[in-house]
Structure 1
Amino acid sequence: MNKNSNPANERIIAPDSGDEEALREYGRQLAMDSLMEQVLLDGAAKDSPANIVPLGQRRWRPRVWIPAAAALVALAGLSLWKLGDPPVNQATLDPRWELLAATGADYRILDPNHVELRKGELRFTSLQPASLVVDTPNGKSTAQGTDFLIGHHLAESPPPSPDKQDSISVDPMKQTTSLTRLLVLAGTVILATDQGSLAAGPNEAVVAEAGDAPQKILVDANSSFAFDLYAQLSKENPGQNLFFSPYWMSNALLMAAEGARGKTAREMGTVLGFPESLLRQGDDSQLIPWEMGKIRVGQSELNRLMNKGNAITPEQAKLRAGEATLAAKLAEMEKKLAGIALKGSNQNEQDQRERFDLVYEKNEVAEKLEKLRAKIDTSKLRVANAIWGEKTFPFNEDWKATVTGSYGAGAVQQADFVANAEKERLRINQWAEEQTEGLIKDAFPEGSLNPMTRLAIVNAIYFKGDWKVPFKKSDTSPQPFTLGSGETVQTALMNKEDESDVKYAAFHGDGRLFATPEMLEESELEEDGGTLYPGKDGFSMIEMPYRGDKLSMVVIAPNDPAGLPSIEALLDAANMAAWMKSMKQRETIVLMPKFKMETNYDKLGEANGTLAAMGMPTAFGGDADFSGMGSKEQLFIGSVVHKAFINVNEEGTEAAAITGYPPPGASIRAKIPFTPTFSADRPFIYLIRDRESGAVLFLGRMVNPSGLAN
């Protein structure tokens, strides 16, 4: 396919000046480039290798995607952000708003609550309720006490359909349009153009192209894919533990979808959760069914959000400086106490008085230090993408530019699969192992890459997080875990009393919120006539944050050990979003097992495998069409493999993968606060999520923890 006839690959173009810095900045189309600096995490990644191979011989089973799950890493560009000082001789922004501007952003503050953005990216965070209007060449965004990212760039227009290109004398690649992109992190922002307006809420993105009405891009498509994949894996693995990284599996599949055409592309988009509103219209919509230029906005912005999380924000820098000061003070007091202790029986009254004062002060400082450390983000979240392509294969330059620019994969690395596939397999496996801190080994098994391999896409993700409030090891003990069958097994259960940083909610069996009481009379607590928890068919869930409050683990457990299938039947993106909104922060007693396990899913991409059953069989057979990658050969996905690792203990979680009370009532009786107990001593579902975007990074279930205690 001619590279100039690929409308799916819309890329932000460089300015005519040819400035290298501008080229790099503009060369990341709908990625919101450096726009996500202060927003998220730190870690390492390992995801999914994709072996795209020519059709013909099916003797081999190449491994395609190997999502590596458990920690994310911040990649390049962390220094691109700066606090938004107003340009010289311009108005000052309302102090109730904080502005962060990406390097190169061209903007003016017209008045305290009105900003004009000409190009680049800005982030606005409301410190107190206040209104704000941001104008771009394409429209006006209106916000009221929220947190959002907005960007404006030039972008290439889709070229005309192939049957009309002969009558057009202008080079289609030179046609440009402009895009205004909006990502809402909290609250609601309205983007209005001459053609209409659209309101976006938390975790929603909106794109407005020049002359068009704004369109909403659902950044939670990943959640839809996550729960759909969970349902299919659950069906294929009855009664077994599950753990995988849907976020990075979808990221890897998206890179392949950028080169898919026709039925192959339509099926892949549906499985990946693309909104039907973004199906293309026109003569070539059968060939290129989806508005890929807009679809990649959500994913690429989320990727940037993840990758910019390694940045040390001013708040985190202040916290870390405070930690160093308190730690030094604590060490000095301990030194003085040790000096007094050395005097032994020679201590006089002044020594004893000083010792008493030091111990009292030391305890105060230690308490302050503990509270401060809970706010410091120590999580390690690392993400890395890489592509290896057969050096003799003529890949489409537009496809390569899209996947490297919009998905952060870097340049396509040359590989000699034809002459030395085994050597390349070992090289790729070494990269994957390094990115996952050695947790994922042998990403591509022996024999999975062969001379027919043309492409390997590897997405790695690594996560290591400390609980904001850790469990005490002394409270962990062997206790029974009740299986769905009613049998019990012994496992190490962690116990956390009166955890105040947990969010909790309970639900009826149909998913409706159960009204968990806040205050009780003592008689109610003793009798519990079924008023404290929902019935046997109900369930409860908690959210436990990791240090820094950016990531959290959500755990869902049924009241009846046999009730997990009923929860699974309700598990989808919409219900999960509703349940999360219902949760309240309150003191909760938490009981859950320690566990460490690895999972390996190697049937995901076969002709009769998991992804085919979900609705995309064409990609794995003779009718596959990946001509958008620029090949004259007929390509298909040989297979998809996903490996994942997780370790949950008292300190926190390590994972990796390849691919105030209400007002008192009228009663005069004394009431006491009710502290619910969340018991995960039975089969449960768990997920690790980014609290800011809502993205599900890891998802799994624990059915039987036998032999998994770490």
Structure 2
Amino acid sequence: MIMTQTRFWRFLLTVCGPFLIRIHSSSLLADSNDRFALDLYQTICSSYEENIIFSPVGARLVLGMVQMGAKGKAQHQIRRALRLQEDSVGEEFSALKSFLSAIPPQKQEFTFNLANALYLQEGFLVKEQYLHSNEAFFQSAVKLVDFQDAKSCAEAISTWVENKTDGKIKNMFSAEDFGPLTRLVLVNAIYFKGDWIQKFRKEETQLMDFTIKDGSITKVPMMRMQLRTKLGYFTHSQMTYQVVELPYEGNEFSLILLLPAEDIAIEKVEKILSVDQIQGWIREMQEEHVEISLPRFQIEQKLDFKEVFKALNITEIFNGGCDLSGITDSSDLYVSQITQKIAFVINEDGSEAAAATGGQVPVIMSLDSKQFVANRPFLFILKNNPTESILFMGRVTNPEAQKMRGRDMDSL
């Protein structure tokens, strides 16, 4: 039987249609998530001078929770910022659910805890459909509280976040964060812990010079090892930089490090970053024997996304009278605050200070190994390999801005 091209595609969609559409949706979601990540990164960089850490996936989740109840201009602004197509309203929720289910919360090799919640002022009657949809797509809690009792609210929300992140994120809010005009607070907390495939040997860590952004030099604990991993040298707009990949056990997550050449300020590289470039790094990096020097560092950061989102033209949801009628029929509801707090640690074992399991992997020695020496500001991306999506993104301009827990400089 001769099958025409049109009949062939009809046949293929009949047999494999849902599978093809699901892959297409997931890939579009990962791509839009990464573009949203770059938008967020460049916006945040303009407001923060030093170390940065944030999760674009977390930010996307809280916006998705609002979008599910938003109508009109409020919904349009969110969808535009999230890089979603206007003719696919609703499809992204199913794609997002599939995306999240592809990242298991825990395996022997890693832990990935994500907590979402909406806290509303008592007196608002929340629609049942909204409650069910949030639980189904975001596994999020919707809770009614009295923001007039700011201290109790701060304690309740902070305790909930602490429990959801294995006690790693504490004191997320204080009484000063809430006031008589607080109506709706969105909370997102994320905790990741993973060990490197090949750990740094602690006895190799030494104090070394690190040139911070203003040109001054500070001493930092610098971890060192040699391993075989992906490395690339790239040039864009007459700027040269190195990119290296550090995989975690299980190969589901990797840390990508970008280090500009010594004469290139990190701000210049940040301005020209694009999703196409990042995807190009992944394709073009080659396996090499690499001698890596990386500072041990910790970033614990609480970000107020309200101003960040406003800079991305998401303004309607923060104004009284915005249309959140999918959440409640009240016209007085608006978003008062969107907050994300992340604790992120890089040490010899991996991410987060934890007891090492198993023995050390022998160090690979090579006379012709390449060098990657992060002794100046660098950018990092923690990505999930199966979904090819950015989970965390940030930069380190001063590793000593926040002291490490446990082993510190005095122990070296």
TM-score (normalised: structure 1): 0.51
Is 1:379 the equivalent of 2:110?
A: yes
Equivalent residue for 1:570, pick from 265, 272, 276: 272
| Separation (CA, whole Å) in 1 of partners of 2:212 and 2:176 | 38
Give the share of equivalent positions with the same residue, in percent: 25
Question: How far, CA to CA, are the matches of 2:117 and 2:212 in structure 1?
Answer: 41
Deviation at 1:707, TM superposition (A): 4.7
Equivalent position of 1:140 in the other structure: 15
Cα pair distance change 1:432/1:309, threshold 3 Å: closer
What does residue 173 of structure 1 align with? none
Match of 2:251 among 549, 570, 579: 549
CA contact (8 A) 2:53 2:342 kept: yes
Number of the residue aligned with 2:389: 695
In structure 1, the partner of 2:359 is none
Identify the residue that residue 95 of structure 2 maps to in structure 1. Answer: 298
8 A Cα contact 2:187 2:340, kept in partner: no
Deviation string, structure 1 residues 490-547 (Cα, Å, up to 9, x no partner): 11111112x01x211110133xxxxxxxxxxxxxxxxxxxxxxxx8x31011111111
Of 296, 301, 315, the residue aligned with 1:599 is 301
For 2:134, the equivalent position in structure 1 comes to 403
Cα distance in 2 between the residues matched to 1:260 and 1:597: 33
Q: Summarize deviations over 1:61-84 as a string: whole Å, max 9, x none.
A: xxxxxxxxxxxxxxxxxxxxxxxx
Per the normalisation by structure 2, the TM-score is 0.85
Distance 1:565 1:279 in 2: 33
User: Does 2:239 match 1:442?
Assistant: no
TM-superposed CA distance for 1:485, in Å, is: 4.0
The 1:570/1:674 distance shift into structure 2, 3 A limit, reads farther
Match of 1:310 in 2: 106
Structure 1: stretches of 5+ with no match in the other structure: 1-132, 143-149, 152-179, 184-199, 206-215, 281-290, 312-376, 511-534, 656-671
The DSSP-based 3-state class of the residue aligned with 1:383 is strand
Change (3 A) 1:458 1:300: same
Residue 586 (1) aligns with residue 285 (2): no
Q: What do the CA deviations read for 1:356-378 (whole angstroms, capped 9, x no partner)?
A: xxxxxxxxxxxxxxxxxxxxx42
Contact 1:390 1:418 in 2 (8 A): yes
- Alpha carbons of 1:251 and 1:234: their partners in 2 closer, same or farther (altered >3 Å)? same
Does the CA-based 8 Å contact 1:219-1:298 persist in structure 2?
no
Larger helix proportion of the pair: 2
Residue aligned with 1:589, SS: strand
1:540 maps to 2:337: no
One-letter identity of the residue aligned with 1:569: K
Cα distance in 1, alignment partners of residues 10 and 138 from structure 2 = 28
When residues 565 and 387 of structure 1 are mapped into structure 2, their CA distance, relative to the original with a 3 A threshold, is closer
Change (3 A) 1:629 1:704: same
Q: What is the aligned length?
A: 384
Who is 2:197 aligned against?
468
Aligned to 1:272: 82
Cα displacement (A) at 1:248:
0.8
Taking the aligned partners of 1:388 and 1:639, their CA distance within structure 2 comes to 10
- Within the alignment, does 1:430 sit opposite 2:159 as a pair? yes
Q: SS at the partner of 2:190? A: strand
Partner of 2:43: 232
Deviations 1:636-655 (A, max 9, x none): 21122222221111111129
| Contact kept? 2:297, 2:400, Cα under 8 Å | no
CA distance in 1, matches of 2:202, 2:54: 27
Task: In structure 2, list runs of 5 or more residues that go unmatched.
Answer: 1-8, 354-365, 405-412
**Cα deviation 1:586-612 (Å, max 9, x = unaligned):** 21111110011222223x31xxx2211
User: Within 2, Cα distance between the matches of 1:580 and 1:568?
Assistant: 18
Q: Distance in 2 between matches of 1:444 and 1:139?
A: 52
Deviation at 1:486, TM superposition (A): 3.5
Going from structure 1 to structure 2, the CA distance change for 1:707 and 1:443 (only over 3 Å counts) comes to closer
Displacement, 1:488? 1.9
Q: CA contact under 8 A between 2:147 and 2:178: conserved in structure 1?
A: no
Q: Which amino acid in structure 1 is aligned with residue 221 of structure 2?
A: A
What code does the residue aligned with 1:263 have?
A: K
Contact 2:53 2:301 in 1 (8 A): yes
- The answer as to whether partners of 2:127 and 2:327 remain within 8 angstroms in 1 is yes
Partner of 1:331: none
Q: What's the offset of the Cα at 1:140?
A: 3.3
Q: For 1:641 and 1:382, locate their aligned partners in 2 and report how far apart those are by CA, in whole Å.
A: 16
After superposition, the CA RMSD in angstroms is 2.7
Please give the per-residue CA displacement for 1:122-155, whole angstroms capped at 9, x wherever unaligned. Answer: xxxxxxxxxxx9989x63338xxxxxxx56xxxx
Counterpart of 1:310 in 2: which secondary structure? coil
1:73 corresponds in structure 2 to: none
Measure the CA separation in 2 of the matches of 1:135 and 1:588.
49
What corresponds to 2:22 in structure 1?
Answer: 182
Offset of 1:548 from its aligned partner?
Answer: 0.9
Going from structure 1 to structure 2, the CA distance change for 1:566 and 1:434 (only over 3 Å counts) comes to: same
